Amino acid sequence: MKLVLASNNAKKLKELQALFEPLGVELVTQGSLGIPEAEEPFHTFVENGLTKARHAAKASGLPALADDSGLAVDALGGMPGVLSARYATLFGREKSDAENNRVLLEKLDGIEDRRARFVCALVAVRSADDPEPLIAMGRWHGEILHAQEGEGGFGYDPLLFIPGLGKSVAALGAEAKNRLSHRALASQDLLRQMRESWHLGHPGHLD
């Protein structure tokens, strides 16, 4: 089955493709089909994910998958939240992982409460007007470090420390991240829903 991923993030595509491989799902980015990115006007991951999934399905005529994810920091009232990818631009800085991380550290300077979590909302639709979208959430709890650690991953991975593992997300290998992350947790739930509702992995499933 081919699913359009409502994202042009190559690293996110690689992560999700590995997670959905067990069901024989092939992900293609919307950009490879010439589909522009959707607007993300909402304040929740689920609403933005649903908007992106419906947009990609309508433009492609194919089932679509959207991933809306980000970092929620307790001391910042849940920010950067849905604005995680462009957090630095709120303060007149350029949009980049490096600037986002720099701004986050500045905002938490002198703050003792470093609790935070990665949040992922995965939304899948069979068509643009699918009345029964599949929605799965995953959360990965940790603490924000005072300096970046690790070379892997992307986004805020170098700053989120997972106490139970004793290292940052960026210091984990891809195999461990694909097994433990917020995206992995959401994917496991969504795969279960796809097996039950879309009958994927069974003879005669939708191709």
Is residue 99 one of the residues assigned to a domain?
yes
Percent above pLDDT 70 for the chain = 97
Q: Decide if 19 is inside a domain.
A: yes
- Amino acid symbol at 93: R
The closest alpha carbon to 132, from 45, 48, 54, 17, belongs to: 54
* Assigned domain for 101 exists: yes
Q: In which domain, by residue range, is 32 found? A: 2-198
The DSSP H or E segment spanning 12 is helix 10-20
Q: Is residue 104 part of a domain?
A: yes
24 or 169, higher pLDDT: 169
- Predicted TM-score of the model (pTM): 0.91
Q: Please give the positions annotated as active site.
A: 68
Asked, for residue 206, whether it belongs to a domain, the answer is no
Question: pLDDT by residue (tens digit) across 143-192?
Answer: 999 999 999 989 999 999 999 999 999 999 888 998 999 999 999 999 99
DSSP 145-186: -SS---SSSSTTTTTEEETTTTEEGGGS-HHHHHHHSHHHHH
Number of domains in the chain: 1
| CATH number of the structural domain spanning residue 134 | 3.90.950.10
Of the pLDDT bands very low, low, confident and very high (cuts 50, 70, 90), residue 18 is confident
Examine residue 205 and state whether it is found in any structural domain, yes or no: no
